[in-house]
Amino acid sequence: MPEPAKASTSRTPDDGQPRKDASTPLASVIEALKRAEARGELGANEIEWSIARLSGRVRRGNPHLEGVERRDSVLRAAIAVFEREGYHRATIEAIANELFLTKASVYHYFKSKTEILDAICERASVASTAAIMNATAEADPPPTRLRRMLDAYATACMNEPGFSVLMRHLDEVSPPVLADVQRRGKLVESAFRQTLEEGVASGVFQTPDTHIAVFGMLGALNWIYSWYRPDGRLPAQDVRDALIALLLDGVGAASAPSPDRKRAPRRSGPRAAPAG
């Protein structure tokens, strides 16, 4: 009578356990988690839960993660935590809790809190710079171009989730990312200055110093994050139009044509809301 087959030491996917084959990506991640446990960075319960999650034995359904790329969801959670608690007081555990994950799940995508901050600031910097570069692509007269640039930059400041983190915590990013952000900032300043100088040369702008004018414009727009609230008294476009009108008036370009757009209805009610 043949002997019964011996049980394999390697689990199969059907039993809900990960394979021990070190050649699989899952096994590599598990080994990294085990090393983190050995260093005291993760507890036994966190390791067990993470392995169960990675192997599919924990039901998903977190509303913060559905339909969202996981790395992006971590960044969005970090933005919320940094804005609420501040970068220095925030922890990886708090970011993980925002998504109902473990610290191990966050460490799977980012090695440190600084790396998360770098990614947030890099994304916000790229988005705001791209908005200006796109706005200057068409060869319009300086007043029309300046209005479009101001609107594009204000929109990026208001809509890019990580812009407030970029403004608050730029000094904490790593040196390479800081250098990239500063380089893009110079591109933005140069684009605004060139447009102003063209307008001054053609007599449509009046400003004693284009450098000061650029710093004043960008300073006003960069601080939108500190006072604008999406649920405030005015729709977002009304807020942008009012601010842009002030900036254009400062260089004598109040007559610059505004793009045709449908106005959103004003909100009404007794609540005293922020200006935005």
Q: Label residue 250 by pLDDT band (50, 70, 90).
A: confident
pLDDT at 67: 39
The span from the CA of 68 to the CA of 79, in Å, is: 15
For the chain, list the domains and their CATH numbers. 25-107 (no CATH), 113-250 (1.10.357.10)
- The residue that leads in pLDDT, 66 or 31, is 31
- Please say if the pLDDT value at position 260 is more than 60: no
Of 86-95, 192-201, 209-218, 267-276, the least confident:
267-276
pLDDT at 19: 46
At a CB cut-off of 8 Å and minimum separation 6, what does 76 contact?
A: 64, 68, 161
pLDDT at 31: 78
pLDDT at 274: 42
Of 51-60, 174-183, 197-206, the least confident:
51-60
pLDDT at 155: 94
Q: Label residue 73 by pLDDT band (50, 70, 90).
A: very high
Residue 78: both structure tokens together: 């970090």
For the stretch 170-201, what's the b/e string if a residue is b when 16 or more beta carbons lie within 10 angstroms of its beta carbon? Answer: bebbeeebeebbeebbeebbebbeebbbbbbe
pLDDT at 164: 94
Model pLDDT for residues 127-167, shown as the tens digit of each residue: 999 999 999 977 889 999 999 999 999 999 999 989 999 99
Q: With beta carbons less than 8 A apart as the criterion, state whether 106 and 115 touch.
A: no
- Please say if the pLDDT value at position 254 is more than 70: no
pLDDT at 232: 86
pLDDT at 154: 95
Model pLDDT for residues 38-54, shown as the tens digit of each residue: 776 666 656 665 666 66
Torsional class of 61: left (φ above 0), alpha (ψ -120 to 50), beta (otherwise): left
Q: Label residue 266 by pLDDT band (50, 70, 90).
A: very low
- Please say if the pLDDT value at position 201 is more than 60: yes
DSSP 141: -
Mean pLDDT within 112-140? 93
Model pLDDT for residues 52-71, shown as the tens digit of each residue: 666 654 444 444 444 347 88
